[in-house]
Structure 1
Amino acid sequence: MNRRSVGRIASAAAVLTLGGVGYSAVARSRNRYYDGPVSDHYDGVRFFGPGPVTDRGLLDLARWQMGGGREPWPESFPSPYADRPPERVPGLRIALVGHATLLIQTAGRNILTDPIWSERASPVRFAGPRRVNPPGIAFDDLPPIDAVLITHNHYDHLDVETIARLWHRDAPKVVAPLGNDSIIRAHDDAVRVEALDWGQSVGLGGGVAAHLEPAHHWSARGISDRRMALWGAYVLTSAAGTLYMAGDTGYVDGGTFRSVRARFGAPRVAALPIGAYEPRWFMQPQHMNPADAVQAFRDLEAEQALGIHWGTFQLTNEKVDQPEIDLAAALAEAEIPPERFPAMRPGQVWTPAERIPA
């Protein structure tokens, strides 16, 4: 197989696993990542819920790919920000590295969510979605990392090379939903991972705890492992308040957000995805658009929201800055001041004492 053929396969895999396809034509009788008891969201082979399974097949994929409407992205969409974070923060500081990668500094702990410093969100280095802006924090400028939180196994969220790099530098506590630990260890068996089910929690030190909560999404690293690893959102509790990190999720009926509000109280900050949402007929069950994200913000009753998961990797049809435009319109419609829910750019920082620059 030549390099071009492998590249086409990698691009197809990226479409299947990053673009929102729950490919239902391949069946497996054994889960390759997780061997655990049946539960209300695991049937012994695949995870499911909350709500109905929304897997899509090859006909849906063909309809999307042949339907047109994919906006061209620039080769470069640089951010006006760059961050060199302090080593420790006693209060609360949140910086967007890019896409869904956040550096959360609170209570003297440094926590990364879905870290990806790789050039591509892809199973190979020479094909697949390529970043159009560099990480907002250079890897060598990172402070010592105490914990890494993984929401699910899609390549734009679970970058095993970055996780191994972090592990061998800082040996952080790595936390991931069930089954994702096997994927990480298959890449580097030195990495220790604590796997959580929905509703489970783990301490991160300094009085900070991470709680894994349900999300409307799915998982896959290829076309034959659909929903064999769990996915989820995180709630962080600490003396600085409650933080919510949605990862990837559809809005659906809003129940997952209202459940977080009921269980943990109104978050101080909610990091919500606002990109990778077109076409809606295809993406709606698993990716929020900005209007959905604004409604989720209201359901959570959060003090502050931060718009993430946009403008770094082209995964779907909308143009590179459409999420920012649509978010502004949705906030105006809801009569919410724009500073309460900015579309974050790589390197941009939020702290409770500061208003994010326009």
Structure 2
Amino acid sequence: MKQISVTPLQSRNPEPISPPAHWVGNPPSSFKNPWPSFAKQHGLADVLKTRFSTNRNFVPVPETRDELVRVRKPDWGRSLPDWQQGLKATWLGHAGFLVETACSASTTRVGSSAEGEQEARGIRILFDAVFSERTSPVGFFGPKRYTPTPCELSELPDVDLVVISHNHYDHLDIATITHVYKRQKAAGKDIHFFAALGNKQWFLNAGIGITADEVTECDWWDSQKIDIEGVGSIDLTCTPTQHFSGRTPFDAGHTLWSSWVVEDPQSNKKLYFSGDTAYKATTAATACPVFKQIGEIFGGFDLSMVPIGLYSPEWFMSNVHCHPEQSLEIHKDIRSRKTIGMHYGTVRGGLSAQYEDVREPPQRWQACCEKEGRWGTECGLCDVGETVLAA
């Protein structure tokens, strides 16, 4: 008998049309951002212009950690008061989080504590975790992390679900996927993967034994009810975001990108994970409308993770990444009660590294939030390895 069951629910799509506006072809052969806020797709000439521009302002990563994000050993929230009753998220660096729901009243003692004793726990969901040294297809070239992981892969607790926002190397990491899958299977435990349309084949072709019934592909607004024997249940919804995909120069847009919503009935809390996203291209007249839609449909969120870094130069990056002032607008649009900045402080982008001081995103995020009186009450940051409870 399977420990994890996945049941499709009614779509949350507020504007269902056939075929969907983000599909290219029917059935889709690729995907696109269907909003004016995206403006245009940059071509190879723009990439080369950006990379080798004389306007670059390369600032090296500081040699000491005093000016960088702090790293602490995670305890997965066990030191927090009443941790079993809350929805919580532990930052693993960049866009990686381990989310754990509240324990249900009927939870059996299925987890393991640091001392090896069995303990009650909630559902554990791994979002976009990257433990590799480089966000690259090879280990000797490409963006290299300048902030260490807060723990070893072997120190991650058992994971029930792995949820991926898109297939870029800084969000979909073969080393992490391989480890969590093989460990769960070796222990005789189920694990299930969720990703947007077109990504299922990557898991099946990863060469680690993942089977078709262990992966669920979702289109935007698709919802699933997930029941985990002896642990609890959640509703998981794949939601739109403004970004792109591709793991080679030849497969851009072939798979879909997404954000995700977790509804936890145990705590009656809701979590929003944006993945990677833009808000509005510099040449666009209007912002991407999906954030207000998401806020309206789900009635706001108790905890959200939104990107604040890798946005420079803005003329090039603004249609796929957001800067901190736009991150604050996303916070307001989705009606979040607590938002944590992510997608900074860990690894530099291939292009943004030439323009963006790694110290700037958190400083700029804090400044714009303080200006509106939202810093520390609604918006903030956390250490790598720190666990944050939903509001």
Question: Which secondary structure does the structure 2 equivalent of 1:195 belong to?
Answer: strand
Length-normalised TM-score, structure 2? 0.77
Contact 1:78/1:134 (<8 A) preserved: no
Distance in 2 between residues matched to 1:137 and 1:97, nearest whole Å:
8
Tell me the TM-score normalized by structure 1. 0.84
Which residue, 103, 111, 114 being the options, matches 2:125?
A: 111
Return the alpha-carbon distance in structure 2 between the equivalents of residues 135 and 320 of structure 1: 17
Cα distance change, pair 352–212 in 1 and its aligned pair in 2 (3 A): closer
Match of 1:286 in 2: 320
Once structures 1 and 2 are overlaid, which stretch shifts more, 335-344 or 213-222? 335-344
CA distance in 2, matches of 1:281, 1:163: 34
Amino acid at match of 1:41: H
Structure 2 CA distance for aligned equivalents of residues 231 and 299 of structure 1: 20
**Cα separation, 2, equivalents of 1:163 and 1:204:** 20
**How many residue pairs are counted as aligned between the two chains?**
317
Change (3 A) 1:299 1:92: same
Q: Give the C-alpha shift of residue 294 in structure 1.
A: 0.7
Tell me whether 42-51 or 210-219 shows the greater mean CA deviation: 42-51
Distance 2:97 2:226 in 1: 16
Corresponding residue to 1:49 among 23, 28, 33: 33
Q: Which amino acid aligns with 1:95?
A: T
SS in 2 for 1:220: coil
Poorly superposed stretches of 4+, deviation over 4 Å: 75-78
Q: Is the 8 A contact 2:77 2:88 kept in 1?
A: no
Matches within 5 A, 1:336-347: 336-347=374-385
- Give the 3 Å change call, closer, same or farther, for CA 38–160 of structure 1 in structure 2: farther
**Which residue of 199, 205, 208 corresponds with 2:221?**
199
Report the structure number with the largest CA radius of gyration.
Answer: 2
Native 8 Å contact 1:201 1:210 kept in 2 = yes
Within 5 Å, which residues of 2 pair with 1:110-259?
110-170=124-184, 171-188=190-207, 190-191=209-210, 192-205=214-227, 206-239=232-265, 240=267, 241-252=269-280, 253-259=287-293
- In the TM superposition, residue 196 of structure 1 has moved relative to its aligned partner by 0.6
Change (3 A) 1:146 1:229: same
* Aligned partner of 2:49 among 60, 63, 83: 63
| Cα-to-partner distance string for 1:119-157 (whole Å, 9 max, x where unaligned) | 111000111111111212332222110111000000000
Gapped regions of structure 2 (runs ≥ 5): 1-17, 103-121, 185-189, 281-286
Task: Specify the alignment match of 1:267 in structure 2.
Answer: 301
Query: Which amino acid in 1 is paired with 2:202?
Result: I
In 2, Cα distance between equivalents of 1:274 and 1:196: 26
Q: Considering only aligned residues, what root-mean-square deviation do their CA atoms show, in Å?
A: 2.0
Mapped to 2, the partners of 1:89 and 1:234 lie a distance apart of 23
Shift of 1:254: 4.1
**Counterparts of 1:329 and 1:105, CA distance in 2:** 30
Of residues 337, 356, 363, the one that matches 1:325 is 363
Deviations 1:20-47 (A, max 9, x none): xxxxxxxxxxxxxxxxx95422123220
Higher helix share: 1
Q: How far does the alpha carbon of each residue in 1:328-349 deviate from its partner, in whole angstroms, 9 at most, with x for none?
A: 1111222213342112331122
Structure with the bigger RCO (C-alpha within 8 Å, sep 6+) is 2
Which residue type is aligned with residue 149 of structure 2? P
Distance in 1, matches of 2:142 and 2:24, equals 32
* Amino acid of the structure 2 residue aligned with 1:85: W
Structure 1 Cα separation of the partners of residues 225 and 133 of structure 2: 32
